Structure 1
Amino acid sequence: MKTKHWVIAALDEPRVRMLAHDCACAPLTAAVLSARGIDTAQAAERYLSCDSKGLHDPFLMADMDRAVQTVRRALENNEHIVVYGDYDVDGITATCIMVDYLRSKGAVCEYYIPNRLNEGYGLSRAAMERLYGQGTRLLITVDSGITADEEIAAARALGMKVVITDHHECHDSLPEADAVVDCKRADCDYPFGSLAGVGVAFKLICALEGDAGTVLARYADLLALGTVADVMPIVGENRIIVAAGLKKMAETSNIGLEMLLREAGMKHKRLTSAAISFVLAPRINAAGRMGQAELAAELFLTRDPVRAQMLAAELCEQNKRRQNEENQILTQALARLRMEYNPLEDKIIVLAGEGWHHGVIGIVCSRLCDRYGCPVVLIALDEDGTGKGSGRSVKGFNLFEALTSCGDLLQRYGGHELAAGLTVDAAHIEALRERLRAYAENHVSMADLIPQLPIDCMIEPEWITLENIQALSVLEPYGMQNEEPVFCMKDLTVEEITPISSDRHVRLTLVKDGKRWSAMLFGTGVGGLGFAQGNMVDAAFHLEINEFRGRRSVQLTLCDVRLSECENLADQKLLNLYNTYMADGPLTAREARILLPDRSDLVAVWRHIVCRAEDGRLSVPSNALSRRIAWESRREINIGKLFVCLDVFSESSLISYHFKEGMLNILLKPYEGKADISGSVVLATLQSMAG
């Protein structure tokens, strides 16, 4: 497991008690609110409100009046309108609500979504010319257009009117469109600046219709889908939108969305933001990633149930193909990294590969970034020698600024601190790799790359009740800036470890003060644990209610697990013994016996290293290996004894090893015949001391 730095909010018990009283909420809920800086009843009411009355007047947005006038004039004149969208979930849902609304008003309205693989993001001059030639006289952009100065100038020169609706950052100067509606405009006084692209499109529809409540009721499901999928903060207006949307999804009137819910197995399940993020959004995004975003748009616009079912099935199939492409790239990347990546020194990963799918490498970037805890740039090489890349970063390393420092090597690039895209000539990739490595070396430390885990509060066993967990639901919907609460407890005993799904996940039984809980750790098998049965651990987790065969029980969904301080202190005492021995200091016979491995111990350690090493390398937390081997072999192998075993193997030229910043790194050396440790001075010396 990747080491995380826990940031535990201080618990102000008097303030929590007062807030619980004033808000008439459970103490656990009040503790979460307090941890997030909400310490009055009035602030809590504002934070938790999902009332549609909290939606702001759309005309507070700059240029909204001009946008409404331009669209209404086009409707009155029966002009051909095209909505120009984007190929992600936000862009697709924005496209669909705008097209559906305008068609309901009698407009001749079509949509255009650029092909991710052939055209890339945003507007293009070729598309402008093609659309004008097809009769388009009003172009409305959604989730795009704010930086397309040249393309919009070309569209207007041809004779098209252009209304931009977008939510991305603006340049110093705006495109010369008929209207530019973007809550990020420097001169825009709109009270909420974190709407998704679909949210801005929604605001234009509200302004056209004059009744925000009616529009929200009509499109809340698609609005929530786009807002959550685009990882917008679930506060303010977005909280109102998503709360309404999750309720509407359960009984959606959009036949395409209903079919997608059925096809994804979610029709009769409780719908949450997590369901959007991990079940629905990937299926919709898959169409865009594979170059067929129009399938998703058609799904949400069709009125034909048979066609909708076919499209929903096709999106799920596209997602499977995307997953296959993703897994192939990930497998290749991991194989390369086992040979090329040094976790002690490398602060950024830059890899290029032929045949990698342009639309998928961004997801692989995210997975590698999470796995290694450092910035990652992957570049897909085309046959013509052009590399199209995608990057993901971690908090504290500005990827956009890093690429800017290498701008002379790039054909084009764009993005922000945590995600970016680029195009580079294959001949410059090696230079780009070296420049990015040098930039990372000068701008980030290894300590900066340790991911942080914010924890709302430390709790006691008696707080974990079905009633308290149920009371947390007032905090929903969860999402960015309103994350699902994370709690922690210290000094739990690991009573049982059970591998799940072919050891892809683990179920633990944790015990404290006579209370016992089932805890799920996803994405880590038994071999990835830094502890064994019987160890004491600290756990950080979400609290959930598990329903199975009509029975409701508490379940902990683990975010992180680490050895308790008592275990670390025990390790330190053993390491002190080991360090005394290595410094030729005095040991009693009893102390020497604690460190002295017998033949079976040496065999257990050797077998574990050989079996677990990949390409001759094994990298694990330094305090985890002895516990893993002890758990597997059922032998008493402490951390001091482990290091003696490693010294014996190193002395016999079987391995080399070193550890730094908590990670133990072992490299197997090539040898022929049977491994011989009979001449080990380390072993002989300890044996003589043990008596």
Structure 2
Amino acid sequence: MSRYRWLEPAPAPSSAFDLTDFPLLSVILARRGITSLQQARSFLQPRVHELADPYGLPDLELAAERVRSAIRNRRPIAVFGDYDVDGLTSTALLTRVLRSLGAEVRPYVPNRLQDGYGLNLAAIDRIIKDGAALLLTADCGTSNGRELAMAQRAGLETVVLDHHHAHGVELPGTAFVSPRREDCRYPFREMSAVGVCYHLVRALAGEDVAAAMLPLVALGTVADVVPLVGENRIKVHHGLARFGSDAPLGLKELARQADLDPFGVTSWHCGFILGPRINAAGRMADPLTALDLLLTDDPAKASRLALELGKLNARRQREMERMIAEAEEKLRHGGRDAGPLLVLADTAWSIGLVGLVAGRLVERYRRPAIVLERGPDVSRGSARSIDGFNIAEALGQCHDLLLEHGGHSMAAGLTIETERLVELEERLVGILDATVGDDIPTPTLQLDAELHSSELTLETERLVSLLEPTGHGNAAPRFFARGLAVRRPRVSRDGKHLMFQAVGSDGTAVRAVFFNGAYALPDLVRLGRVDLAFSLKRDSWKGETRVELDVLDFRPATEF
């Protein structure tokens, strides 16, 4: 039945209706803390010139000078980026711009399956042997003091462009550009790594060159799930607006092969269509495939690489569904689905996918989950959590059992001796019990407004689209409607999704899709009439455009 505890909105103050000419839009803005006309204008019409001075970031001036010096003196520059979308877009951004400025640039990206995250000594050795004089790291480096020191001893200058937590971190001799530094005075600190790299490009090449790179910045920012507010909103808004004209050739081809119009790409497309295809390279094979796509200017090569990424993503989806099915079978077979914490491991599971599987299990079972690639001696995995239980802190309390661990409150990674897995589970169950007790809280769903069936229209969707880009920190508005009849429910061909017609008391019928909700078909059929929580989407098919409900949850009807 209902997966969430619905938080229906409180009545909006009368002053809220003065924010725009549209009452629904005004109310949504007010409920998001936007209470003045100036705030509403800045939110609805974000402007690039409102970005702060890039030199406000610590060490950015030193980083820029080191790059300029390398270019002047024709000294090779190594750019080492992470294998995820933020790292790959960062690497592509720096490589493209520095080459346009005359630099000799050699990009490097680690292999997730072989090298793991961040700089490693083998990579440093390779960079030294390749003759680099300056090393830039993108989306990594904060935790790589040893590797950076090795590079410096070999004569390289070092620059770190990162956004990960840097409490107590010191990197002697390195230009350490990060909004997370404790001494950072830059007014916005929640940016992605590609957002940090963008500021270096502003300093090196000017605002016009930097602005043309905003499509890459938008993709990396959305995919890294940083809050889409403040500066991030400005970058993503303008990056999406320029996507059709300025995105790299390969990225536009990737969009076309996913049946997207490059001139109509949204934040949702970045997060759920393009981002997963870019990530699939690192999860399933070699991230250099994705980097090559972002760097190529050859149409034939772009087409071939985009096709390859599409195939890798399809394979990733199949592998993930297999792992989820096997995980659920383990739970059923072991009689463990009532436990407060899920810890599952298998020799056939890929380290590149365990985090995605853990996230799906948390969504389905509403409890923390740890999923691992089981090895004969050592197992590696990912953890995902629920509100109220800081999984990174919990793993920290088990540090004596772990070889490696790190992360944040809702997601973490770990490496452990396989023989200690049972002990880890027992310890974590005790910590969970002490933290949240017997009653694991039901996740909440904050709703923005109630809509009547007559308001489920393209015009309402158009108003809502003014809040784009939406995502983490600026969620797509979540609405609810009461007493909708369920007509013609069916499961998608792949057995994952649920589709039906939602019919209001006035006869209005709207297509509704519950992604990954096939399991709910029996409840939906039994109820017949429900309250729906949903977001509005615009769907185009065979020349026809219609509004569609992206179902978030349902409950028994409270009104007929």
TM norm. shorter chain > 0.5:
yes
Relative to structure 1, the CA distance from residue 400 to residue 539 in structure 2 (aligned partners, 3 Å threshold; closer, same or farther) is same
Partner of 1:449, secondary structure, is coil
Q: Which residue of 2 aligns with 1:256?
A: 250
Which one of the candidate residues 136, 141, 150 is aligned to 1:140? Answer: 136
Relative to structure 1, the CA distance from residue 194 to residue 529 in structure 2 (aligned partners, 3 Å threshold; closer, same or farther) is farther
Q: In the aligned structure 2, how far is the partner of 1:148 from the partner of 1:335?
A: 40
Tell me whether 1:501 sits opposite 2:495 in the alignment.
no
Which one of the candidate residues 329, 332, 335 is aligned to 1:335? Answer: 329
Q: Does 301-310 or 511-520 show the bigger shift?
A: 511-520
Q: What TM-score comes out, normalization by structure 2 length?
A: 0.95
Task: Check whether the contact 2:484–2:532 (CA below 8 A) recurs between aligned residues.
Answer: no
Match runs of 1:603-682 below 5 Å: none
Q: Which residue of 1 aligns with 2:398?
A: 406
Q: Shift in Å at residue 519 of structure 1?
A: 2.9
Tell me whether 1:386 sits opposite 2:369 in the alignment.
no
Q: Which residue of 2 aligns with 1:608?
A: none
Q: Which residue of 1 aligns with 2:279?
A: 285
Task: Check whether the contact 1:530–1:562 (CA below 8 A) recurs between aligned residues.
Answer: no
**Cα deviations across residues 632-654 of structure 1 (Å, max 9, x unaligned)?**
xxxxxxxxxxxxxxxxxxxxxxx
Partner of 1:71, secondary structure, is helix
Q: Which residue of 2 aligns with 1:681?
A: none
Tell me whether 1:155 sits opposite 2:147 in the alignment.
no
Q: Which residue of 2 aligns with 1:520?
A: 513
Q: In the aligned structure 1, how far is the partner of 2:173 from the partner of 2:283?
A: 29
Tell me whether 1:270 sits opposite 2:283 in the alignment.
no
Task: Check whether the contact 1:164–1:177 (CA below 8 A) recurs between aligned residues.
Answer: no
Q: Which residue of 2 aligns with 1:310?
A: 304
Q: Which residue of 1 aligns with 2:474?
A: 482
**Any stretches of 5+ residues in structure 2 without a counterpart?**
none
Which one of the candidate residues 274, 292, 295 is aligned to 1:298? Answer: 292
Which has the bigger relative contact order, CA under 8 A and spacing at least 6?
2
Q: In the aligned structure 2, how far is the partner of 1:5 from the partner of 1:407?
A: 34
Q: Which residue of 2 aligns with 1:452?
A: 444
Tell me whether 1:223 sits opposite 2:225 in the alignment.
no
Q: In the aligned structure 2, how far is the partner of 1:498 from the partner of 1:328?
A: 25
Q: Which residue of 2 aligns with 1:511?
A: 504
Q: Which residue of 1 aligns with 2:186?
A: 190
Q: Does 108-117 or 317-326 show the bigger shift?
A: 317-326
Relative to structure 1, the CA distance from residue 566 to residue 73 in structure 2 (aligned partners, 3 Å threshold; closer, same or farther) is closer
Kindly provide the amino acid, as one letter, of the partner of residue 496 in structure 1.
R
Q: Which residue of 2 aligns with 1:18?
A: 18
Q: Which residue of 2 aligns with 1:642?
A: none
Relative to structure 1, the CA distance from residue 262 to residue 17 in structure 2 (aligned partners, 3 Å threshold; closer, same or farther) is closer
Partner of 1:100, secondary structure, is helix
Kindly provide the amino acid, as one letter, of the partner of residue 30 in structure 2.
S
Relative to structure 1, the CA distance from residue 268 to residue 112 in structure 2 (aligned partners, 3 Å threshold; closer, same or farther) is closer
Task: Check whether the contact 2:142–2:169 (CA below 8 A) recurs between aligned residues.
Answer: no
Task: Check whether the contact 1:138–1:162 (CA below 8 A) recurs between aligned residues.
Answer: yes
Q: In the aligned structure 2, how far is the partner of 1:308 from the partner of 1:543?
A: 33
Q: Shift in Å at residue 117 of structure 1?
A: 1.1
Match runs of 1:39-50 below 5 Å: 39-50=35-46
Which one of the candidate residues 71, 82, 89 is aligned to 2:85? Answer: 89
Q: Shift in Å at residue 535 of structure 1?
A: 4.2
Tell me whether 1:347 sits opposite 2:343 in the alignment.
no
Kindly provide the amino acid, as one letter, of the partner of residue 498 in structure 1.
P
Q: In the aligned structure 2, how far is the partner of 1:13 from the partner of 1:496?
A: 37
Match runs of 1:97-136 below 5 Å: 97-136=93-132
Q: Which residue of 2 aligns with 1:170?
A: 166
- How well do the aligned residues superpose, as a CA RMSD in angstroms? 2.1
Which one of the candidate residues 316, 325, 334 is aligned to 1:322? Answer: 316
Task: Check whether the contact 1:497–1:533 (CA below 8 A) recurs between aligned residues.
Answer: no
Q: Shift in Å at residue 177 of structure 1?
A: 3.4
Q: Shift in Å at residue 58 of structure 1?
A: 0.3
Q: Which residue of 1 aligns with 2:207?
A: 212
Partner of 1:206, secondary structure, is helix
Q: Shift in Å at residue 402 of structure 1?
A: 1.1
Q: Shift in Å at residue 441 of structure 1?
A: 1.7
Relative to structure 1, the CA distance from residue 421 to residue 295 in structure 2 (aligned partners, 3 Å threshold; closer, same or farther) is same
Q: Does 50-59 or 261-270 show the bigger shift?
A: 261-270
Q: Which residue of 1 aligns with 2:33?
A: 37
Q: Shift in Å at residue 102 of structure 1?
A: 1.0
Q: Shift in Å at residue 158 of structure 1?
A: 1.6
Q: In the aligned structure 2, how far is the partner of 1:519 from the partner of 1:320?
A: 24
Relative to structure 1, the CA distance from residue 113 to residue 450 in structure 2 (aligned partners, 3 Å threshold; closer, same or farther) is same
Match runs of 1:550-561 below 5 Å: 550-561=543-554
Q: In the aligned structure 2, how far is the partner of 1:100 from the partner of 1:341?
A: 54
Q: Shift in Å at residue 546 of structure 1?
A: 4.1
Q: Shift in Å at residue 514 of structure 1?
A: 5.2
Q: In the aligned structure 1, how far is the partner of 2:54 from the partner of 2:420?
A: 47
Tell me whether 1:434 sits opposite 2:398 in the alignment.
no
Q: In the aligned structure 1, how far is the partner of 2:449 from the partner of 2:405?
A: 41
Partner of 1:389, secondary structure, is strand
Which one of the candidate residues 389, 403, 417 is aligned to 1:397? Answer: 389
Kindly provide the amino acid, as one letter, of the partner of residue 28 in structure 2.
V
Q: Shift in Å at residue 488 of structure 1?
A: 1.3
Q: Which residue of 1 aligns with 2:9?
A: 9
Q: In the aligned structure 2, how far is the partner of 1:256 from the partner of 1:515?
A: 42
**Cα deviations across residues 13-61 of structure 1 (Å, max 9, x unaligned)?**
5233233xxx33x111111111112122122122223211112110011
Q: What TM-score comes out, normalization by structure 1 length?
A: 0.77
Relative to structure 1, the CA distance from residue 46 to residue 529 in structure 2 (aligned partners, 3 Å threshold; closer, same or farther) is farther
Q: Shift in Å at residue 283 of structure 1?
A: 0.9
Partner of 1:471, secondary structure, is helix
Task: Check whether the contact 1:156–1:162 (CA below 8 A) recurs between aligned residues.
Answer: yes
Relative to structure 1, the CA distance from residue 225 to residue 186 in structure 2 (aligned partners, 3 Å threshold; closer, same or farther) is same
Q: Shift in Å at residue 289 of structure 1?
A: 1.2
Match runs of 1:525-544 below 5 Å: 525=518, 528-532=521-525, 535-544=528-537
Q: Which residue of 1 aligns with 2:359?
A: 366
Q: In the aligned structure 1, how far is the partner of 2:272 from the partner of 2:310?
A: 13
Partner of 1:480, secondary structure, is coil
**Cα deviations across residues 53-72 of structure 1 (Å, max 9, x unaligned)?**
11211001111111111111
Kindly provide the amino acid, as one letter, of the partner of residue 373 in structure 1.
R
Task: Check whether the contact 2:249–2:296 (CA below 8 A) recurs between aligned residues.
Answer: yes
Task: Check whether the contact 1:493–1:534 (CA below 8 A) recurs between aligned residues.
Answer: no
Tell me whether 1:472 sits opposite 2:471 in the alignment.
no
Kindly provide the amino acid, as one letter, of the partner of residue 422 in structure 1.
L
Q: In the aligned structure 1, how far is the partner of 2:148 from the partner of 2:256?
A: 40
**Cα deviations across residues 653-677 of structure 1 (Å, max 9, x unaligned)?**
xxxxxxxxxxxxxxxxxxxxxxxxx
Q: In the aligned structure 2, how far is the partner of 1:298 from the partner of 1:416?
A: 31
Relative to structure 1, the CA distance from residue 309 to residue 146 in structure 2 (aligned partners, 3 Å threshold; closer, same or farther) is same
Q: In the aligned structure 1, how far is the partner of 2:333 from the partner of 2:519?
A: 24
**Cα deviations across residues 416-466 of structure 1 (Å, max 9, x unaligned)?**
111111111111111111111221122124544311111012234454443
Task: Check whether the contact 2:2–2:555 (CA below 8 A) recurs between aligned residues.
Answer: no
Task: Check whether the contact 2:228–2:469 (CA below 8 A) recurs between aligned residues.
Answer: yes
Q: Shift in Å at residue 327 of structure 1?
A: 2.2
Q: Shift in Å at residue 301 of structure 1?
A: 0.9
Q: In the aligned structure 2, how far is the partner of 1:447 from the partner of 1:484?
A: 29
Q: Shift in Å at residue 521 of structure 1?
A: 2.6
**Cα deviations across residues 108-148 of structure 1 (Å, max 9, x unaligned)?**
11011111111110111222122112211100011110121
Q: Which residue of 2 aligns with 1:65?
A: 61
Relative to structure 1, the CA distance from residue 450 to residue 161 in structure 2 (aligned partners, 3 Å threshold; closer, same or farther) is same
Q: Does 316-325 or 186-195 show the bigger shift?
A: 316-325
Which one of the candidate residues 406, 411, 416 is aligned to 1:424? Answer: 416
Task: Check whether the contact 1:499–1:526 (CA below 8 A) recurs between aligned residues.
Answer: no
Task: Check whether the contact 2:159–2:174 (CA below 8 A) recurs between aligned residues.
Answer: yes
Q: Shift in Å at residue 226 of structure 1?
A: 0.6
